[in-house]
Amino acid sequence: MSSPLPALSHLDDSGQIRMVDVGAKTDTERVAVASGRVRMNAQAYGLLTAPGQGKGEVLNTARVAAVLAAKRCADLIPLCHSLPLAFVGVDFSLLEDKHAIEVRATCRTQYKTGVEMEAMTACSVAALTIYDMCKAADKGIVIEDIRLEYKAGGKSGQWRRQP
């Protein structure tokens, strides 16, 4: 017996958009991790990472922007639920050989619905902030590979991106 095809949760039986009703769900521990990359030319990367230059300021600004974005996710994405975030963390890894910055955002809550959108929004806004602060040195900066890496909690349980 084959399993049914997955459905789009934000469409009702007639195909109209709807917010998913989570009222009957119980609060559970939820976590999501998203990642992405900001790639730039060698000159811009050199300016960003040079001793005494703006790396700390750029990455700290991006971190604050990411936290604010996760907290405002429901204001940006129409059918997202407002939810109480217990934690938003953002880490950066410098990839010198690629002239890139890897962004990794983690969100946690104890609620009825997951935090995947909050983690991906945080990651995206961190990357956009890095772009904004470095664009004077490279207009061709590329933001790439924004994606969910891991989620846990709720009815669907745990999921991890396979390499």
Q: Could you give the residue numbers annotated as active site?
A: 132
Count of beta carbons in the 10 Å neighbourhood of residue 132: 14
The three-state DSSP-derived secondary structure of 59-88 is: HHHHHHHHHHHHHCHHHHCCCCCCCCEEEE
Q: Are 19 and 81 in contact (CB under 8 A)?
A: yes
Q: 24 - beta bridge partners? A: none
